[in-house]
Amino acid sequence: MYSVNYHRAASVADAAKLAKGDAKLVSGGMTLIPAMKTRLAAPSDLVDISRIDALKGIKVSGKTVTIGAATTHYEVATSDKLAKACPALSHLASMIGDPAVRHRGTIGGSIANNDPAADYPAAMLALGATIVTNKRQIAAEKFFKGLFETALKDGEIVTAVTFTAPAKAAYEKFRNPASRYAIVGVFVAKGADGVRVAVTGAGDDGVFRSRELETALAKQFDAAALTSAKVPARALMTDMHASADYRAHLIVVMARRAVAAANA
Amino acid sequence: MSEVSLTVNGRRVSASVEDRTLLVHFLREHVGLTGTHVGCDTSQCGACVVHVDGKAVKSCSMLAAQASGSDVMTIEGLANGGDLHPVQAAFKEHHGLQCGFCTPGMIMTTVDMIARHPEGLDEATVRAELEGNICRCTGYHNIVKAVLAASKTMSKASKGKAKKAA
C-alpha cells in the first residue's frame, strides 16, 4: 500500500470538506483497502465516514424503507424491521461475501463503488430506489452509469437509500465457485408500478434491467411465464468464467428461481 | 502518522504508526501478539480474523487507524490462564487442525459464529459460515466437527448458568 493520510470525519459536512482532490471516502473498506494493498487504488487521503451516526440505521415507516449509507451488510441481513418490510433485501445482504466481510462492508460503499458483480445495485434498480446524497436525490436508474461508474460528483457523499417496500421480491444469484461473486444475479420486484427485473454480474456495462423478462412477467408474475423467455446475449460479458450465451441462459434460470421464491 | 489507541484483550495499548498500517500488522508488530496470522493478504483466507467491538473482522483489510478507540480481541485473549476456551478445547479434541496456520482465524470465526447462533448450529450452517476461512490442509471435516461440538458444549454451559440464575 502506498502512503496515505487517514482522517476520521465527525459529520457528513466534515467529510465533504475533507473529500477533496485525490481523497477517497472509506466506510467498511472491504473493496478499497484490498485495492490499495495491491496498489490498484492510491488515494492521497482516506476520509472515514463509518462512525458518523447520521449515516447508520434502518427506518421503516409505513411502506417506506430508508437505510443509512454506513449500515453494514450484517445489520441489513439481521434487521427485524427489514425482514418484515422487504425480506428479499435481507436475504441478499446475507449472501454478500462472508461473515467477517458483512460485519464491515456497507450498503453505501457497495453502491458508490458499483462493481459490475455487486449485489446491491441490482436490488436498488429493481426496487426503483432513490439514492440520497448530501446534495440531492438520484433515481437508481440514473445513478448506476456503467462499470464502477456512478452519477456521483466530486465531494458528493451517499447518505442513504430509500424505496417503497414491494408486494413481492426475491434475489437469486449464481456464484462463481471460487470468488463467490455473482456470475449472474437477478433481483425481481413486483410493486405498485409493475414488475422490475434487474441483473448484476452479467452486463458488459454493469447492472441493467431486462425489459424482455419484465414484459413477460407483467402479464403473469409466475415462473411459468418465463418458460420460453430469452435474453439477448449481445450486451453481456464474456470472460474466463462464462460466455455471454451462458450468462444469457443463466439470467432466465435465475429469474425463474427468483420469481418462484418471491411467490413462495 | 496516526495515534492509535486500542484495548487489546482487555489491555490498553497506544502507538504512533503510519496511517497505512493494517490492524494485523499493528497487532503483530507493535503489540507483539503474533497469534493472528497473515495468510493470503487478499482478504479471502481468514487467518487474520480478530474481533473488533465484538464482531469478527479480517484484520488484514482494516487499518489500525480505523480500529482506533475500539475493543479488540485476538486468539491470545480467549484462554483463561491454563484453561482453554471451549472452542479451543473442541479443536484440540476433534483434531480440527493439521499445520495449524489457519487455526487462530478458524477459532475466532467460530466464537463469533456460536455467539450469533444461540439457537444452535447444524452442519450446513457451519459450512456456510466458514466461507471466509480457508484451510489448505483440507481439514474441514474435523473443523466442522469441532465447531458443532463447541456449540453444544457452550449452549449446555449457558443453559446451566441460566438454571443457576433462576
CB contact under 8 A, A6 and B112: no
CA gap A247, A236 in Å, rounded: 7
| CATH of span A55-164 | 3.30.465.10
Residues of chain A with C-beta less than 8 angstroms from the C-beta of B109 = 99-100
CB A193 within 8 A of CB A63: no
CB contact under 8 A, A50 and B58: no
CB B43 within 8 A of CB B60: yes
* Distances from the Cα of A121 to the Cα of A25, A72, A130, A160, A168, angstroms: 19, 15, 12, 14, 18
Q: Choosing among A1, A2, A3, A6, which should be mutated to test the B contact, i.e. which has the most B CBs within 10 A?
A: A6
CB contact under 8 A, B63 and A33: yes
Which among B66, B129, B133 has the least Cβ separation from residue A48? Answer: B66
**Residue A124 pLDDT class (50, 70, 90 cuts):** very high
CB B42 within 8 A of CB B48: no
Mean pLDDT, range A38-43, rounded to an integer = 96
CA gap B151, B149 in Å, rounded: 5
> Cα angle vertex A10, ends A130, A16, to 5°?
55
Residues of chain A with CATH 3.30.465.10: 55-164
> How confident is the model at residue B156, as a pLDDT?
80
* Distances from the Cα of A256 to the Cα of A137, A206, A212, B158, angstroms: 32, 21, 13, 44
Cell 452442519 locates to: B123
Buried-state track B119-146, b at ≥16 Cβ within 10 A, e below 16 = eebeeebbeebbbbbbbeeebbebbbbb
SS3 (DSSP) at A187: strand
Residues of chain A with CATH 3.30.43.10: 5-48
Instruction: Return the C-alpha torsion angle B52, B55, B60, B66, nearest 10.
Output: -40
Q: Choosing among B57, B73, B125, B134, which should be mutated to test the A contact, i.e. which has the most A CBs within 10 A?
A: B57
Residues 135-154 of A with CB under 8 A from B: none
CB contact under 8 A, B19 and A4: yes
Q: What is the pLDDT along chain B (166 residues), one digit of tens a residue?
A: 999 999 999 999 999 999 999 999 999 999 999 999 999 988 899 999 999 999 999 999 999 999 999 999 999 999 999 999 999 999 999 999 999 999 999 999 999 999 999 999 999 999 999 999 999 997 799 999 999 999 999 988 777 666 555 5
| Residue A260 near chain B (CB below 8 Å) | no
Residues of chain A with C-beta less than 8 angstroms from the C-beta of B133 = 98
* Distances from the Cα of B17 to the Cα of A12, A88, B2, B135, angstroms: 26, 43, 5, 31
Mean pLDDT, range A234-242, rounded to an integer = 95
CA gap B29, B34 in Å, rounded: 8
Give the distance from residue A109's alpha carbon to the nearest chain B alpha carbon, in angstroms: 15
pLDDT score of A198 more than 60: yes
* Distances from the Cα of A119 to the Cα of A52, A161, B89, B92, angstroms: 24, 15, 38, 38
Which among A99, A103, A180 has the least Cβ separation from residue B129? Answer: A99
Q: Choosing among B66, B117, B125, B131, which should be mutated to test the A contact, i.e. which has the most A CBs within 10 A?
A: B66
Give the distance from residue B42's alpha carbon to the nearest chain A alpha carbon, in angstroms: 6
Give the distance from residue B164's alpha carbon to the nearest chain A alpha carbon, in angstroms: 30
* pLDDT averaged over every residue in chain A: 97
> How confident is the model at residue B139, as a pLDDT?
76
Residues of chain B with C-beta less than 8 angstroms from the C-beta of A104 = 57-58, 61-62
Domains along the sequence of chain B with CATH? 2-77 (3.10.20.30), 86-159 (1.10.150.120)
CB contact under 8 A, B62 and A1: no
CB contact under 8 A, B61 and A30: yes
CB A115 within 8 A of CB A146: no
CATH class of the domain comprising A168-263 = alpha beta
**Residue A264 pLDDT class (50, 70, 90 cuts):** very high
CA gap B20, B27 in Å, rounded: 14
Residue A64 burial (CB count, 10 A): 12
| Residue B138 near chain A (CB below 8 Å) | no
What tens digit of pLDDT does each residue of A140-181 get? 999 999 999 999 998 899 999 999 999 999 999 999 988 889
CB contact under 8 A, B61 and A34: yes
What tens digit of pLDDT does each residue of A78-118 get? 999 999 999 999 999 999 999 999 999 999 999 999 999 99
| CATH of span A5-48 | 3.30.43.10
Which among A97, A98, A103 has the least Cβ separation from residue B55? Answer: A103
